[in-house]
Structure 1
């Protein structure tokens, strides 16, 4: 089950005579709305044929400079033009990313007998803006169609830019690799849980590793039991589909920084014996979005050839109720020996993550990050589009927030207050997995922090909100899986590699 074919994308310094479907912008300037990216010769021919300029015609059809507002304008000689709102004329990379995503989604939905070609002309010059435009186009072109016949999508995208320097091509290559990783994560998250479960997910990770020339190691249920991965085994114990732990390694010569990434890979979460309500279970195939992001990111970093060592860990299990399920009040012995009293079998993510955090820390990485659709509490606090960031120190948090800003993803730092850890005290174990209902995202982070040595910088991403879009598509974000955190992780690795 895969997405539609990823279009090829090229750079050009000018709009070709046959541009396919042309995308231009409408932006806010000091003297009103102005058209961006339309060549003078086309502007003159449009004015002669239409009796008005393209900007005015776009406005008559409902277009404006409002970010993402998109209209299709019929033009002379059969040419079709999409005019998309850019917002203020001094554009940011994220403005352009959203605009190209919105425009390309419109183009992808147009009826056509064959795949379409698109030319995007938005006067992109700076490398960061070029990268944003390319990412927006490729992410906006994404469509997941596992059963329906393939609809002709977009085969070719040309981005018009006057920048002829190598930096332009480098920006394009970085954007293509990043967008491909995002779409890989989206495909995995969108795949139904009867097709993607721990064994098949691990097989997919192995296949990804072979293609990216990464080393891969997989622990099956026997290996997990032999080495004492009590959290993963407990969570996966109720399912006939046995758990897995996957490790992908990228270790280029000369790398001085070691980044460890840990992803939650619950391929379906019923809540276990603390069964979720029916409505809350429908989207639980998405509970492996953290693992999908981590694995796709490692492959992207390898493809880019960044000089940074990266290990990606994915804890995979299916949380099901049965006679062999773990129970509330069970005491589990985690990898490394810490004992945990299980407070709620629907708080399973932190248990599988804890095992992997300890295992990853044994290699003494310079930075440990974990990514998980962990708590509904984070969604209550930050909504459906913002990732919650919790870190031990502000320097690490600032590093990640800078990467998120560069990538165009919304992150917000939350605290791990001093009173969070005492709430996890247990009378029968080293700690309890849950506390009371207040500040649930914060106590979950406090729990995870117990499994990373204090001398290793660590941060936690809670992507429960932004990992899956249950509403309509918008900008470059489709309905369904979004690939949340991939762009930030790639940007962070790029910054750390120097």
Structure 2
């Protein structure tokens, strides 16, 4: 069995803040205004003078002559001494945090294209005059530097060796540390999701999670194997994992700082590969299903960041890990499962397995008496049909719970849209043989999944369900700080949520 350390791991660029861009191979500045009248934001006067001397004209004029665009994310590379300047479009002169984050990601991706086998030193000089702007620029730059690590015996050189954010703001180093932690755990979540299912399966995923939390203060990790799951009555996780030769695992990680008065429970779907089980998927529908543990990856990464940041809130994360495969021991449509806590479920579709493992985890979370419960998963194609590939669905027990999540997602720069849970959808989960049926009609499928899950949540806790099926895995082109493949979507929202509850 591969060890936890043998899973994919992306090199992290070194990160620092400096008053100048000296020593950089690539300097990044912002291009604002309009295409007809662009203006450059950032670059120290000395750097501007050096560049303009070499180019024979001011930077804005050169950019205009080259057809450079101020559209957000558009990039243009110019020579600068022995290196390059990358101008990145930011739109108008008034920049918000997400604009800076996205522009920094686009610019670092463009810089990486100039590497040509080298490891480049990149300086980000975009008018980062406040500590908060240093943080968001660094976040975008680090996330934009990500590339899926190749599984190869050939040595590889990371395109970006270091990123320096140019700023004179006091307190910038503290904010830089926050950005570094957040980008590090998002990178870990991306690496977990991008790792092929023959390398990352319940045992190795659990082992890697344990390794990540080793030595982090105020944290404990417990892993239940198949025997412990059977002894504990986790009928949902055992049923979903029963068709695979790789048995399921259930990971519970707790961060309990002294003095914390609020408890946040985070529940993640960890299906390391989803064939659909006996309700088997098509070949095309199955190919990317190594990504079906993106919710569990987000939960584990978020708890790690929360602990490393030392936020004053108790957080308990639950990752329900299983591989959904067809075999003689696989669960069947029409089976009745006895879940953790005793509630029974009639299985309507073995390809709707995520809600089953999460129901066990949600029922277990009630024993930790959380004030708020958030579950997150790549759950339904229906949510993708409704919202596309760049927005996630949000359903909640109350307007207040939804607003709390939406505020956190806005701070993180991640897009969520609230959907309702209607009485008609709830009624569609009626079963004649069990307490509840796992699925209803095709119409309103995302809402039906949420309605099913809510039945396993402690009734006195605020609750929100996050369906990230669309934005968790990017099958299109890379853009801003979003790479091809796993995106790590949801991690930053969960961290911002914890910070809000801590305050």
TM class, shorter-length = over 0.9
Structure 1: 5+ residue stretches without partners:
none
Of residues 193-202 and 149-158 in structure 1, the stretch that sits farther from structure 2 once superposed is 149-158
The alignment status of 1:9 with 2:51, answered yes or no, reads no
CA distance in 2, matches of 1:87, 1:113: 32
Q: Is the 8 A contact 1:396 1:459 kept in 2?
A: yes
The alignment status of 1:300 with 2:300, answered yes or no, reads no
Counterpart position of 1:126: 130
Q: Give how far 1:254 is off.
A: 0.6
| Equivalent runs, 1:128-147 vs 2, <5 Å | 128-147=132-151
Counterpart position of 1:35: 40
Deviations 1:256-279 (A, max 9, x none): 111110000000000001000110
Go from structure 1 to structure 2 and tell me whether the alpha carbon gap of 1:123 and 1:219 turns closer, same or farther (over 3 Å shift): same
| Equivalent runs, 1:146-157 vs 2, <5 Å | 146-148=150-152, 149-157=155-163
TM-score after normalising by structure 1: 0.97
**Matched residue SS, 2:104:** helix
Q: Match for 1:89 among 90, 93, 103?
A: 93
Counterpart position of 1:402: 407
CA distance in 1, matches of 2:102, 2:391: 16
Of residues 433-442 and 24-33 in structure 1, the stretch that sits farther from structure 2 once superposed is 24-33
The alignment status of 1:269 with 2:274, answered yes or no, reads yes
Counterpart position of 1:227: 232
Q: Match for 2:121 among 88, 113, 117?
A: 117
Counterpart position of 1:189: 193
Counterpart position of 2:3: none
Of residues 209-218 and 407-416 in structure 1, the stretch that sits farther from structure 2 once superposed is 209-218
Q: Is the 8 A contact 1:188 1:196 kept in 2?
A: yes
Q: Give how far 1:368 is off.
A: 0.5
Q: Is the 8 A contact 2:129 2:168 kept in 1?
A: yes
Counterpart position of 1:21: 26
Q: Is the 8 A contact 2:11 2:158 kept in 1?
A: no
The alignment status of 1:369 with 2:374, answered yes or no, reads yes
The alignment status of 1:208 with 2:212, answered yes or no, reads yes
Q: Match for 1:106 among 88, 105, 110?
A: 110
CA distance in 1, matches of 2:407, 2:327: 45
Deviations 1:398-421 (A, max 9, x none): 011001000111111111112221
| Equivalent runs, 1:159-170 vs 2, <5 Å | 159-164=165-170, 166=171, 168-170=172-174
Counterpart position of 2:4: none
| Equivalent runs, 1:460-479 vs 2, <5 Å | 460-479=465-484
Counterpart position of 1:432: 437
Go from structure 1 to structure 2 and tell me whether the alpha carbon gap of 1:147 and 1:61 turns closer, same or farther (over 3 Å shift): farther
CA distance in 2, matches of 1:181, 1:106: 23
Structure 2: 5+ residue stretches without partners:
1-6
Provide the aligned C-alpha RMSD in A: 1.4
Q: Give how far 1:112 is off.
A: 4.2
Q: Count residues with an aligned counterpart.
A: 494
Go from structure 1 to structure 2 and tell me whether the alpha carbon gap of 1:406 and 1:108 turns closer, same or farther (over 3 Å shift): same
**Matched residue SS, 1:95:** helix
